[in-house]
Every structure is written in C-alpha cells, then in structure tokens.
Amino acid sequence: MNSIKVKNCSTCGTPFNCGDTPEGSKCWCNNFPPIFTPSEVVDCLCSSCFTTACSTKIDEYVATLSSETATDNKAKDLPKTTNLIEGIDYYLENGNYVFKAWFHLKRGNCCGNGCRHCPYGFKKI
C-alpha cells in the first residue's frame, strides 16, 4: 500500500514527507538520479540534504573522468528524466541556467556549444 510518511532527516533532523501517494504519485526523491541508496546507518534525507549528498557524490564521480573517458561514463546509461534538478543538473548565475558536467554526461556526447562545464573537452575558439 502506498502512503506518505513523515520522516525526520537523518542529517539535519527536519521533518519531511516521504513515500508514494495512494493516487500513484511517486516520492519526490524519484526525480533524482539513482546513484545510491540510503544505508542502514542513514535513513532518508530531506530534499535539501539529499540534493547536497547527491551533488557531492556526482562531483566525486565527475572528478574521476577525463575528456577521453567522458564518452564512456555511467550517467548516459541511467534512466532518462524530464525534470532538471537545480544543484544537480544546473545552477543559476545572473538569472541564467548554467548546466553542470552531470547534465552533459547524461546526454552521452558533446553538443558542440563550448559549454563552461563540458566534460568532453570541447572549447570554442
């Protein structure tokens, strides 16, 4: 049976809703890339702490890649998503979206636009 539970974030202690609704809406955490699961020591995290933990893990993974290995990355094989997540896929700078390396890695190839965080090594001259 699907239900929403109120949990306390295991990092900051903030209460938050967790779970799927009886109507079939999935938990908010399903919008995030499936890159790790909570351990037995750490239960669910609130949206803010989960975004931070996810971003940290992604940044650690991106740091292991080079422009030569970027095309063979794990992100391109994850399930495709339609929602962009601030702090994971992009950040805002002066009102503009700046896409992070993770966003580009999910595509699986360089778009050729000379993006600031291009993991494939493309630079406009």
Residue 90 Cα distances to 110, 114, 116, angstroms: 16, 16, 11
Tell me, yes or no, if the pTM score tops 0.95: no
What is the tens place of the pLDDT at every residue in 63-81?
999 999 998 899 999 888 8
E runs forming strands in the chain: 5-8, 15-18, 90-93, 96-99
User: Residues near 82 by Cβ (< 8 Å), separated by ≥ 6?
Assistant: none
Per-domain boundaries in the chain = 5-107
Centroid of chain to Cα 121: 21
What is the tens place of the pLDDT at every residue in 84-121?
999 999 999 999 999 999 999 999 999 898 899 999 98
Q: Residue with structure tokens 């970027």?
A: 70
